Amino acid sequence: MNSTYKSVLTIAGSDSGGCAGIQADIKSISANGAFAASVITATTAQNTQGVFDIHPIPVPHIKKQLKAVLGDIVFGAVKIGMLHSSEVIEAVQETLKEYRIRNIVIDPVMVATSGDRLLNSAALNSLKSFLGDALLITPNLPEAELLIGKKIDSEKLGEAAKEIGNRFQTSVLLKGGHLEVSDQMTDTLFLYETQNTVFIYNNYIATKNTHGTGCTLSSAIAAQLSLGLTLEPAVRKGCSYLNEAIAHGKDRRLGKGHGPVHHFF
């Protein structure tokens, strides 16, 4: 008796160091029990210590990658990482609409670990227009502040997630990794359809091996959606998986900088 793979498409950049980007996405999707396909938007010269060069893939080739996989494979979810220009954002948005893709998870990568913005104003505006097509967006605190154009009070995360969700008409997982260190990590999930806010707690783990956590989390959630879970359980499982992956990778060493989580614990 034949069975069909539960598949996820990741659209993102490649990390030559293997900790983040497409490489982390594929590992996370696979570890969560789904099949991973990929469309690469850029290649990077990158390792555990930083990003040294970015080579954008030409937009026509990105479109050809999209049409090749979307015309052949049925995807239960699509995860989107950094889209570096307005042209790329618009091309991805148009093509996903053409194929009537649902269950889109957007990790709106806009701010580097250094704090530098990765998108110019035109690209940020294009990204904002895309967010309403998503089932879920997963900004961290600096990215959330860029989306609404103001500082977010750490005591009012629920209100901030709701404001973002209602402004862009999508559910929001506001990640807590940039909050002050405490015994617990708090991620805030605003469910747009029900207007409910859920707080997800996990133990804080002291480690520098956090390279690729955002990619890993959004991909894990997409994988759980492809396996048939509804949004809240998929987010809870994704958060739990990431926490375990951080815990199992906290004392491992790769390179001289910030290492990865342990995807296959």
DSSP 8-state assignment for residue 117:
B
State the amino acid at position 117 in one-letter form: R
The predicted structure's pLDDT at residue 77:
98
State residue 55's pLDDT score.
Answer: 94
Which one of the listed residues 214, 238, 249, 259 is annotated catalytic?
214
Average pLDDT value over all residues in the chain? 94
pTM surpassing 0.85?
A: yes
Q: Which phi and psi angles does 35 have, rounded to 5°? A: -95, 135
Using an 8 Å Cβ cutoff, are 126 and 86 in contact? yes
Catalytic residue, chosen from 212, 238, 249, 259, is 212
| Structure-token pair, residue 39 | 């469309």
Q: What is the pLDDT of residue 154?
A: 82
Q: What are the structural domains, with CATH classification, of the chain?
A: 7-249 (3.40.1190.20)
Spell out where 35-120 has E strands: 35-47, 50-56, 77-80, 104-106
Residue 176 confidence (pLDDT)? 85
**Has 210 been annotated as catalytic?**
yes
User: CA end-to-end span of the chain, whole Å?
Assistant: 31
Q: Which of 10, 44, 188, 210 is catalytic?
A: 210
Q: What is the model's pLDDT at position 37?
A: 98
Q: Is 213 a catalytic residue?
A: yes
Q: Which of 213, 237, 239, 259 is catalytic?
A: 213
Neighbouring CB atoms inside 10 A of 156's CB total 12
- Asked whether 213 and 246 are in contact (CB, 8 A), the reply is yes
Q: How far is CA 208 from the centre of its chain?
A: 20
Catalytic one among 95, 175, 176, 188?
Answer: 175
Residues 6+ apart with CB under 8 A from 203: 183, 184, 185, 243, 247
Active site annotation includes 215? yes
Asked whether the beta carbons of 22 and 15 are under 8 A apart, the reply is yes
- What is the per-residue pLDDT across 58-104, written as a single tens digit (0 to 9) for each? 999 999 999 999 999 999 999 999 898 999 999 999 999 999 999 99
* 214 catalytically annotated: yes
Query: What's the average pLDDT block by block, 10 residues per block, for the chain (265 residues)?
Result: 91 96 98 98 93 94 98 98 94 98 94 64 92 97 93 91 98 83 86 97 93 96 98 98 98 96 97
Beta strands in 93-195 (DSSP E): 104-106, 136-137, 171-174, 184-191
Q: Which of 13, 188, 215, 216 is catalytic?
A: 215
